[in-house]
Chain A
Amino acid sequence: MASYEWYASPRNYELEKAEKALQSQPAASHPLKGITVTEIKQVDSRGTPARETKPAPKREFVDPLSSGDPLGADGAISLAFEGADPLSRFAAEAEPLGRARSSSEKKKDVISPDGLDESFEPWSSKKAGILAKYTTSEKLSITTSFLSASDKEKVVIKTQHHAATVTDKVKNRLEQLDDFEEGSVKEMMNLSQQDYVKRIEELNQALVTAWEQDQRVKSLKIAIQCSKLLADISVIHFYPSKFVLITEILDTFGRLVYDRLLEKAQYIPPGSTKPVRLPSNFTPADVPESAKETCRNWFFKIASIRELIPRLYVECAILKSYSFLTSGEYADALKRVALMTRGIGDPLVAVYARCYLCRVGIQVAPSIRDHVLPCFDDFLGSFVQVQNDSVQNILAAQKMEMPLYLTLFSPALDWILQCLAHKASDALLNTTLEKCKQDCNNALLLNSIMSAFHPQFIANRATFFTEMIRECEDTGFPKHLLQQSLGRCLVVAETPEDQKLAVLSEVWKSVIKLKNPADYISCAEVWIEFVVKHFGKREVNKILADVIKHMTPDRAFEDHYPRLQSIVSKILTHMKDFSQLFSLDKFLPFLDMFQRDAIKVEVCKNVLEAFGKHQVETVNDPVVINAMMFLCKTVHDSVNALTLEDEKRVIAALLCGFIAGVSFGRDFEQQLSFYVEARGSFSNLDPVLVTLIQSVNRLSIDTRQVVKGNHSRKTAAFVRACAAYTFITIPSLQSVYSQLQLYLVCGQVALLNQCFSQADAFFKATISRIPELPVVLDTEGKVRSTEPLLVEFISNFVSTLVATPDSPEAGVLYLLRGLLNVLQDYTWDQSSDARVTVYTRVLAALSAYSQEEYPYHVDKVDANDAMYGGDPKFLAEVKGVADTLTTQILAHLKSLSAPEMEKRKTALAFDLLTSVIAHSDMSNTAMCTLAANLWGLVQRTGQADTKAMARLGSYIRSKASSGAKGFRELAAQTKIEV
C-alpha cells in the first residue's frame, strides 16, 4: 500500500478572521419586527382592504399565526369573518351545513342571535346531563303505529292523491287521524332503555323521512304519538330523559313546519320578477296569503287534537310559525298555553310541559317573559298535589322514595327558574323569593332557585338563604344538596364581606352534623373552595382537620377518593403560595388519606403540577422543600418497569420542574447538597438525572462567574466537588448517548474551571464509552441509526480536544490517539462512510494542531500551542498521525471501486478535496498533486454537486490570482483558468 503524506498549511486565524469578517453596520430597526409588519399587512389585505391604511408598524411584535390577536385589537372587526384566518372562515362557512344536519346545533344557533348571551345556559348543554342522570334498568314500552312499516301507509297515500275536493281531502285526513287513534297502534313492551332510545331515534328518522316524502299528515301523527308518550309515567325515573328525547323530535317537527312555511312564503318584491325568500326579520304583512292559509291550517289541525297533552306539546312545537300570521301572537299564545298546563293532573308531567313551553318561549321570543311567572305560580299552586293519593299510589307502585321523586322535578324547575331569573330585575326575584317562602317553603324549590338565579343575587343574600335552608320544611329533599347548591353559588359570586363568616359558621355547623360520609364529603368538596377563596389558612386548616376527622372512621375515605382529590385541586388552585400551603399542618395528613397507591400518586402529581404552574419564584423554604421532596419521592417511586413511556416523561417533567424551582441563591454549597439529596431520591429517571447533572454544571459555571475565573482554594474545591458529582452520576444514566454528551459537556465545564485532571477523566470516559454506543436508537417508536449522531458528536469532541492541553503524564496527543484507536476498532456500518468522514474532520483538527497559535482557547487555559511552543517533535507527531489518516482515507477511496459506489466515492472525495484545499499546504507538490487528482476524480465521475464544484473552482481561482503559494500550479493542473 502506498503511503501518503499530509502537510498542513500554516495559518494565522486572527488575520483570516479579520479578512473574512463582514463590515458591520448599525441597524435602524429590528429586522424581525419589520418582517412581522409585512405579515400583518398580508393578513389584513386578504379580507378588509380598508384596514391597510392602519399604521401597522406601530404594533409590538405579534405572532402572525395567532391572527385572532391583531384582529381583536380592532374590536369591531371581530364580528366580520373576513378578517379571520382562513381556517376559522372555513369553519364559519361549514357551519350552515352542519346546522342543516343536526337539530341540536340548530337550536343553539337559533337561540344565540336573539340577544341571549352566554349567561343563559342553553338547553343543549343541559340535555346531556339529564340523559346521563336519569336512567333506568326497567323495561319500557312504546305505543306507536309507525315503527313497523305497514303497507297500509302506502294505500292511504294513494287515496290521498286522488282526493278531489276539499271535503274529500279533509275527510281523508281525519280518517287517517282516526286510523291511528283506533287501529294499527302497536304497543311494544319490554324494551330496555337502549332499545327505547333507539326506537325514539327511529321515530325521529321516520318523521323526517315522512316529511321529505311530502307525507305531512304522517309526520304530524308521529309528532302527536310521540308527545302522547310524555303522558305516560309508568317508568317514572326515566321521565326526564324521555322528555329530552321526545322534545327533540318535537323540535325537529317544529323546525320542519317552519322551514316549509318559510319556503312557501316566497314573494315577489317590487321591481323584480323572481320570487325571493322572506328576509329573516319579516313581518306578517310580507307573508303571501297562500302561506298564511297553510299556516292557519296547521293551527286549526292542531287545535282539533282531542287529547290535552299532545295538543299542548305540538302547539308549542310549532309556536314559532305564529310569526307568519300576526306579530303579537307569541305573547298571547304563550300565556294561553301556560294556562292550559293547569289541566295536567300529574304534577311531574305538568312541570315538564311548562318547562317545554318556557324552552320554546325563550327560543322564539326571548324578550317575552309574561308566561313564565304564571307557569311558576301554577307550579307552586299545584305542588301540593305531590302529596295526593294518586301520586303516592304511583310512587308506591314503582317503589320509589319521595326524595328521589322530588329530584325528578329539578331539571324542569331549574329551567323554568332560569327563564324567570335571566336578566330579571332584582325586585322580581325578590318577590319570587318571597312567594316561595310563603307559599311552600320547600327544599326542592329552594334548591332550584339557587341553581337558577344569578349567583351574585344569592350571594348578596347569603345569610338569608342559610336561614331559609335551616327553616325549610323537610319534604324529603335532602338538605345537604341545598348546602351544596348554596356553596356553588357563593364560590362563583362575591359574598358581602360581613356575611362570609356568619354564612360559613352556619353552614359548617350543619355540615358537621351530617352522618353519612358521602353526604358530608360532597358538601365539604363544594365549601372548601369558598373557604380557600375567602379565608385564611387557619380556617382552611380547620376544615381539613374536620374532613380528616369525618373520613377516617371505617376508612370512609376509601370510597370518596375523587371528591377528596377535588378538594386538593381546589386548594391548589386558590392557594398559590406553597410556603403557606405547606404550613397548613393538616395538609400532609390530608394527603395521607390517599392510601391507594395509584390515587396517591395522582394527587402528588397534581400538587407538583400546581407547583410548576403557580410557583413563579424559586423557593428555598426548607418546609416546602422537604414536603415537596416527599411528594416527589412518592411520585418517583411509583415508576416501575410497567410504567408507560409517556407517564414516565410526565413524571420526569414534573420532577425537573421542582428541581428547577429550588434555589438557595448564593448558598451554592447548600444547593449542591440539595442536588445530592435529589439524586439519592430520584435515581430511576434519566431526564431527572440529566437535569441534575446540568444543574450542577450550571452551579459550577455560576461559581466561576462569581470569582471571575480566578478560583480561590475554596471555590476550586467546590467546582471539583461539582465535577465529582457529575462524574459519578453520569454512569447511572441508561442512555449511552446521553452519557457521551454529558461527559463531553462536563469535561468542557471542568476545563473551563481549570480542573485539568477532571477534564481528562471526563474525556477518557467519553472515549471509553464510544464503543458501547448502540448501533440503533429507538426514539418515539422510530428506529434510527446512531451513526450520524456519532459523527456529529465526534466532530464536537475533536473540536474540544483542540483546546485541551495534553496531560503531562501521558504522551503527545494521547486523547486523540485514544479516540482514533477506538474508532479504528469501532464496528462501523459496512455500507456507510462515517469512519472516513470522521477521519477527514480529524485531519482538519490535526491541521489546527500544527499551527503556531490555535484558532480558539479556553479562557485561562493554555492549550498545546503554548505548551509545546511549536516544538518540531510535536509537529512531527501530528504530521505522523495526519499521514496515517490520509493514507487510510485514500485506501478507503480506492476500495470503493464498484460502479454502484461511484456516488459515495465522489462525495467522500469531494469532502476530502475541500479539506485538502482548506487546510493543507498547496505549495507542497505532493499536496498539490493530491488535490489535482481528487479534482480530476470528482470531475470524472460527474456525480458531484456542480454548484459546490463551481464554488470551489472560483475559490481556487481567487486564491491563485491573489498569489497564494501553490494555487497557481493547482489551477494549472486542474485546468481552471485564472
Chain B
Amino acid sequence: MATLDIRLKKVNKIYKEGDVVAGLVVVNSKGECQHQGINLTVDGLVNLQLSAKSVGVFEAFYNSLKPIQLLQYPLEIAKPGRLPSGKTEIPFEVPLKPKTGKTLYETYHGVFVNIQYMIRVEMKRSLLNKDLQKQCEFIIEYKTQEEKAKPKPVPFTITPETLVGVKDKESIPRFKVRGKLESSCIQIAQPLKGELIVEHCESAIKSIEIQLVRVETCGCAEGYAKDATEIQNIQMADGDVGRNMAIPIYMIFPRLFTCPTLSTNNFKIDFEVNVVIIFHDDHLVTENFPIKLMRF
C-alpha cells in the first residue's frame, strides 16, 4: 500500500504572482511500487454559481457558469517505473504565471464565488490498482496593487430619524448612537477599527454587534445576480452598556473568507459592514457601511 503526500516548502503556503511554488511529493510505500508515471498539475480556478434566490431554481441549475481558469501548469515529475520501498521524495518547482490575458486573483472562499489554487498529484497505476491522488491548496496574495488604502474616516450617527424603511416610527424608543469607523478603505491584514458611543437610549440595550457581509455579483446571460451573505458577526457590547462611553469596534478580517475588493468583467466581490443594535425586546436597528478592502 502506498500513500501520496504533497509538502510545500513554505509553511504558510502563501505565494505571489511570479513566485515559484517549490515542494516535495512524498511517496510512502510498504513495498516496491510500480507505477505508470506521476503527474502534477497546478490549477487556478474561479468557480461561479448563481444563487437560486436571485435567478430561480432552474436557471441556477442550468446556467451554472463556466469556471474561469487562471492558471494551469501540468508537469510530469516521474516517468513510468518503480519506486523503491520506503519513503521517496520527489522535489518539484512550478513558476506561478497566469494564462495570457488573466491575472492571479487572491484566494477567496465565498458562497457563489470561489477563487482557489490547487496542486494535484496523480500517480497512474496498472489496471489492478487504483490511481493515487492527492491535492493541496495554496494561497495567492497580490504582489502589488496600484491603489493603496488610505484612511477615509466614516463618522455616523444613528437615531430613529436616520432609519429608513420603518413603518411605525412612534414605536421606536428614543436613542442616539454616535461613532465612527476609522476608515472605510482598509488593508485586509489590518483590523477594522472604530468606536461607538451610546449617548442616550430609552430602552435597555441587549447587544451591539458588527456584522461582516460579502456581496458577490455574478454576471450571466440574463444580466447579473447579486447576493449578500454574512461572513461573521462579532459582538461589541453585551448587555446594557454605559452611556457616553467609547466602546471600541475591532474586527479582524478572517483569512480565506475575505479578499481585496474585486471587480472583473464576469464577477464582483464587495464587502460591507453592518452595525447592529439589538434592544432588550429583540428589536434591532442596523446601519450599513460599504467598505473597500485592499492588500496594500
Say if A and B assemble together.
Answer: yes
Interface of A is mostly: helix
B20 in the interface, Cβ–Cβ < 8 Å? no
A345 lies within 8 A of B239 (CB): yes
Number of contact residues on A: which range applies? 35 or more
B236 lies within 8 A of A343 (CB): yes
A165 lies within 8 A of B11 (CB): no
User: In the complex, what residue of chain B is closest to A294 when comparing beta carbons?
Assistant: B11
Contact with A345, one of B238, B250, B255 (Cβ below 8 angstroms): B238
A342 lies within 8 A of B109 (CB): no
B273 in the interface, Cβ–Cβ < 8 Å? no
A884 in the interface, Cβ–Cβ < 8 Å? no
A231 in the interface, Cβ–Cβ < 8 Å? yes
A336 lies within 8 A of B250 (CB): yes
Interface string of A266-303 (1 = CB under 8 A from B): 00000000000000000000000110010000011001
Q: How far is the CA of A731 from the CA of B91 in the complex (A)?
A: 105
Smallest CB separation, B275 vs chain A (Å): 13
Please, which residues of chain B bring their CB within 8 A of the CB of A344?
237-239, 241
A388 in the interface, Cβ–Cβ < 8 Å? yes
Please, which residues of chain A bring their CB within 8 A of the CB of B205?
345
Which chain B residues in 10-36 approach chain A with CB under 8 Å?
10-13
Q: How far is the CA of A303 from the CA of B12 in the complex (A)?
A: 19
Please, which residues of chain A bring their CB within 8 A of the CB of B233?
306
User: In the complex, what residue of chain B is closest to A303 when comparing beta carbons?
Assistant: B252
B238 lies within 8 A of A304 (CB): no
Contact with B235, one of A165, A307, A388 (Cβ below 8 angstroms): A307
B234 in the interface, Cβ–Cβ < 8 Å? yes
Please, which residues of chain A bring their CB within 8 A of the CB of B136?
165
A390 lies within 8 A of B245 (CB): no
Contact with B248, one of A290, A342, A390 (Cβ below 8 angstroms): A342
Q: Closest 9 CB pairs between A and B?
A: A345-B239, A343-B237, A303-B252, A308-B235, A345-B240, A339-B248, A290-B11, A382-B242, A308-B238
B256 in the interface, Cβ–Cβ < 8 Å? yes
B247 in the interface, Cβ–Cβ < 8 Å? yes
A389 in the interface, Cβ–Cβ < 8 Å? yes
B240 lies within 8 A of A390 (CB): yes
User: In the complex, what residue of chain B is closest to A289 when comparing beta carbons?
Assistant: B11
Q: How far is the CA of A584 from the CA of B239 in the complex (A)?
A: 60
Which chain A residues in 350-409 approach chain B with CB under 8 Å?
378, 381-382, 384-385, 388-390
B204 in the interface, Cβ–Cβ < 8 Å? yes
B248 lies within 8 A of A336 (CB): yes
Please, which residues of chain A bring their CB within 8 A of the CB of B254?
300, 303-304
B135 lies within 8 A of A164 (CB): yes
A306 lies within 8 A of B256 (CB): no
Q: How far is the CA of A340 from the CA of B237 in the complex (A)?
A: 8
Smallest CB separation, B229 vs chain A (Å): 14
A962 in the interface, Cβ–Cβ < 8 Å? no
A300 lies within 8 A of B252 (CB): yes
Given A340-B248, A345-B205, A165 and B242 touching (CB < 8 A)? no
Which chain A residues in 125-172 approach chain B with CB under 8 Å?
164-167, 170
Please, which residues of chain B bring their CB within 8 A of the CB of A304?
232, 234, 252, 254
Smallest CB separation, A499 vs chain B (Å): 38
B235 lies within 8 A of A384 (CB): no
Q: How far is the CA of A609 from the CA of B10 in the complex (A)?
A: 75
User: In the complex, what residue of chain A is closest to B238 when comparing beta carbons?
Assistant: A308
Q: How far is the CA of A708 from the CA of B208 in the complex (A)?
A: 100
- The 29 listed contacts between A and B (C-beta, < 8 Å) are A165-B137, A166-B256, A231-B238, A289-B12, A293-B12, A299-B252, A300-B254, A300-B255, A303-B251, A303-B252, A304-B232, A304-B254, A306-B235, A339-B248, A340-B248, A342-B245, A342-B246, A343-B237, A343-B248, A344-B237, A345-B205, A345-B238, A345-B239, A345-B241, A378-B245, A388-B240, A389-B204, A390-B204, A390-B239
Point out which of A300, A344, A345 has the most chain B C-beta atoms below 10 A from its C-beta.
A345
User: In the complex, what residue of chain B is closest to A382 when comparing beta carbons?
Assistant: B242
A309 in the interface, Cβ–Cβ < 8 Å? yes
Q: How far is the CA of A342 from the CA of B240 in the complex (A)?
A: 11
Which chain B residues in 212-243 approach chain A with CB under 8 Å?
232-242
Interface string of B247-275 (1 = CB under 8 A from A): 11011101110000000000000000000
Q: How far is the CA of A489 from the CA of B242 in the complex (A)?
A: 34
Please, which residues of chain A bring their CB within 8 A of the CB of B240?
345-346, 385, 388, 390
B241 lies within 8 A of A342 (CB): yes
Given A165-B137, A293-B12, A346 and B239 touching (CB < 8 A)? yes
Please, which residues of chain B bring their CB within 8 A of the CB of A311?
234-235
Given A304-B232, A336-B250, A339-B248, A384 and B12 touching (CB < 8 A)? no
Interface string of A326-344 (1 = CB under 8 A from B): 0000000000100110111
A384 lies within 8 A of B242 (CB): yes
Please, which residues of chain B bring their CB within 8 A of the CB of A289?
10-12
A170 lies within 8 A of B256 (CB): yes
B246 lies within 8 A of A343 (CB): no
